[in-house]
Chain A
Amino acid sequence: MYDYLWLIPFFPLVGFVFNGLFGKKIRNEAVIGGIGTLMIFLSFLVSCGNFYALLQDSEKVHQRVIASWMSVGDLQVDWGFLLDPLSALMILIITGVGTLIHLYSIGYMHGETGFYRFFAYLNLFCFSMLMLVLGNNALVMFVGWEGVGLCSYLLIGYYFEKKSAGDAAKKAFVVNRIGDFGFLCGLLTLFWALGNKGVWTINFVEIAENAHLLESGGLIVTVVTLAFFLGACGKSAQIPLFTWLPDAMEGPTPVSALIHAATMVTAGVYMIGRMNGLFAMAPDTMMTIAVVGACTALFAATIGLAQNDIKRVLAYSTVSQLGYMFLAMGVGAFTAGIFHLMTHAFFKACLFLGSGSVIHGMHHGYHHAHLKDDPQDMRNMGGLRKKMPITFWTFLLSTIAIAGIPLFSGFFSKDEILWWSFGSNRGHWLLWLVGAVAAGMTAFYMFRLVFMTFFGEQRTDPRAKDHIPESGLTITIPLMVLAALAVVGGYIGIPAILGGANHIKQFLDPVFGKAIALNQIEAHGTHALEYSLMAVSVGIAVFGIFLAWVMYVKNPALPARFVASFPGLWKAVFNKWYIDELYDAVFVNNCKRIGTFLWKGFDVRIVDGIVNGTAWVVKGIGSGLRYTQTGFLHNYAMGMVVGVVVIVGYYILGK
Chain B
Amino acid sequence: MISVYHYLILSAIIFSIGTFGVLTRKNAIVIFMCIELMLNSVNLTFIALSRHLQNMDGQIFVFFVMAVAAAEAAVGLALMIAFYRNRESIDTDDFNMLKW
Tell me if B88 is interfacial: C-beta within 8 Å of chain A: no
B67-98 Cβ-contact flags toward A at 8 Å (1 or 0): 00000000000000000000000001101111
Set A627, A630, A631, A641: member contacting B23, Cβ < 8 A: A641
Does B39 belong to the interface (CB within 8 Å)? no
| B20-43 near A? 1/0 per residue, CB < 8 Å | 001110100001000000000000
Do the beta carbons of A631 and B92 come within 8 Å of each other?
no
Flag if B100 contacts A626 (CB, 8 Å): yes
B19: interface (CB < 8 Å): yes
| A105-B100 Cα distance, complex, nearest whole Å | 72
Query: At the interface, yes or no: B99 with Cβ under 8 Å from chain A?
Result: yes
State A641–B23 Cα separation when bound (angstroms).
9
Asked whether any CB of chain B lies closer than 8 Å to the CB of A67, the reply is no
CB distance from B14 to the nearest CB of A (A): 16
Q: Given A632-B92, A632-B93, does the pair A637, B100 have CB atoms closer than 8 Å?
A: no
Instruction: Return chain A residues, CB-CB under 8 Å to B98.
Output: 629, 631
In the assembled complex, the Cα of A637 lies from the Cα of B35 at a distance in Å of 11
A interface majority secondary structure? helix
Number of A interface residues in the complex (CB < 8 A): 11
C-alpha gap A630/B100 in the complex (Å): 7
Bound form: Cα–Cα A630–B92 in Å: 12
Closest to B19 in A: A641
Interface positions, chain A 597-643, Cβ under 8 Å from B, are 626-627, 629-634, 637-638, 641
Inter-chain contacts of A633 with B (CB < 8 A): 31, 92, 95
* Distance to closest chain A CB from B51 (angstroms): 24
Q: With A637-B22, A641-B19, A641-B23 in contact, do A630 and B99 touch (Cβ < 8 Å)?
A: yes
Residues of A contacting B100 in the complex (Cβ-Cβ under 8 angstroms):
626-627, 629, 631
Identify the closest chain A residue to B100 (Cβ). A626
Residues in B with CB closer than 8 Å to A627 are 100
User: When chains A and B are docked, how far (Å) is the Cα of A626 from the Cα of B98?
Assistant: 11
Rounded to whole Å, the gap between the CB of B95 and the closest CB of chain A is: 6
Which residues of the other chain, B, contact A637 by a CB distance below 8 angstroms?
A: 22-23
Best-buried of B19, B26, B96, B100 by chain A (most CB within 10 Å): B100
Q: Is B99 touching A631 in the complex (CB atoms < 8 A)? A: yes
B24 contacts across to A, CB distance below 8 A: 634
A634 and B99 contacting across the interface, CB-CB below 8 Å: no
CB distance from B100 to the nearest CB of A (A): 5
Q: Closest B-chain residue to A626, C-beta based?
A: B100
Do A638 and B23 touch across chains, with their CB atoms under 8 A apart? Answer: yes
Task: Give the nearest-CB partner of B98 in chain A.
Answer: A631
A637–B20 Cα distance when bound, in Å, is 10
How many angstroms between the C-alpha atoms of A633 and B24 in the bound complex?
10
CA distance A641 to B24 in the complex (A): 13
Identity of the chain A residue whose Cβ is nearest the Cβ of B93 in the assembled complex: A632
- Interfacial residues of chain B within 1-55, with CB under 8 A of chain A in the complex: 19, 22-24, 26, 31
Given the complex, which residues of A lie within 8 Å of B93, measured CB to CB?
632
Q: Mark A398-431, 1 if CB is under 8 A from B, else 0.
A: 0000000000000000000000000000000000
- The reply to whether A634 and B92 form a contact with Cβ atoms under 8 Å apart is yes
B92, closest chain A residue (CB): A633
Q: Could you tell me the distance between the alpha carbons of A634 and B30 in the complex, rounded to whole angstroms?
A: 13
CA distance A209 to B16 in the complex (A): 100
Of all chain A residues, which has the CB nearest B22?
A: A637
CA gap between A481 and B31 in the complex, in Å: 106
Q: How far is the CA of A634 from the CA of B99 in the complex (A)?
A: 13
Give the distance to chain B from A637, nearest Cβ to Cβ, in Å: 5
Closest beta carbon of chain B to A632's beta carbon, Å: 7
The minimal Cβ–Cβ distance linking B91 to chain A, given in whole angstroms, is 10
Q: In the assembled complex, which residues on chain A have CB atoms less than 8 Å from the CB atom of B99?
A: 629-631
Among B22, B96, B97, the residue within 8 A (CB) of A632 is B96
- Interface centre among A634, A638, A641, by most chain B C-beta atoms within 10 angstroms, is A634
The distance in angstroms between the C-alpha atoms of A634 and B26, with both chains bound, is 8
Nearest-Cβ distance from residue B59 to partner chain A, whole angstroms: 24
**Complex CA distance for A632 and B24, rounded to whole angstroms:** 12
Cα A627 to Cα B98 in complex, Å, equals: 12
Instruction: Check A631 against B19 for contact (C-beta < 8 Å).
Output: no
B96 to chain A, nearest CB (A): 4
Chain A residue at smallest Cβ distance from B25: A634
The smallest C-beta distance from A639 to any residue of chain B, in angstroms, reads 11
Contacts of A630 in B (CB 8 A): 99
Question: What is the chain A residue whose CB lies nearest that of B96?
Answer: A631
Cβ of A652 to closest chain B Cβ, rounded Å = 14
The distance in angstroms between the C-alpha atoms of A627 and B100, with both chains bound, is: 8
Inter-chain CA distance A495–B22, complex, in Å, is: 116
A629 surroundings in chain B (CB, below 8 A)? 98-100
When the two chains form their complex, are residues B96 and A634 in contact, meaning their CB atoms are under 8 A apart? no
Looking at the assembled complex, report how far the CB atom of B54 sits from the nearest CB atom of chain A, in whole angstroms. 26
List the B residue with the shortest CB-CB distance to A638: B23
Chain B residue numbers with a CB within 8 Å of A641 are 19, 23
* Alpha-carbon distance A629/B100, docked complex (angstroms): 7
Bound form: Cα–Cα A615–B23 in Å: 38
CB distance from B98 to the nearest CB of A (A): 6
Q: A626 to B95, alpha carbons, bound, how many Å?
A: 17
The complex places the Cα of A576 from the Cα of B71 at a distance, in Å, of 95
Binding site for B on A (CB under 8 A): 626-627, 629-634, 637-638, 641
What 3 A-B pairs are tightest by C-beta distance, nearest first? Answer: A631-B99, A631-B96, A633-B92
Provide 24 A-B residue pairs closer than 8 Å at the C-beta atoms, listed in order of the A residue. Answer: A626-B100, A627-B100, A629-B98, A629-B99, A629-B100, A631-B96, A631-B98, A631-B99, A631-B100, A632-B92, A632-B93, A632-B96, A633-B31, A633-B92, A633-B95, A634-B23, A634-B24, A634-B26, A634-B92, A637-B22, A637-B23, A638-B23, A641-B19, A641-B23
Q: A631-B97, A638-B23 are in contact. List 12 more A-B contacts (CB 8 A).
A: A626-B100, A627-B100, A631-B95, A631-B96, A631-B99, A632-B96, A633-B92, A634-B23, A634-B24, A634-B26, A637-B23, A641-B23
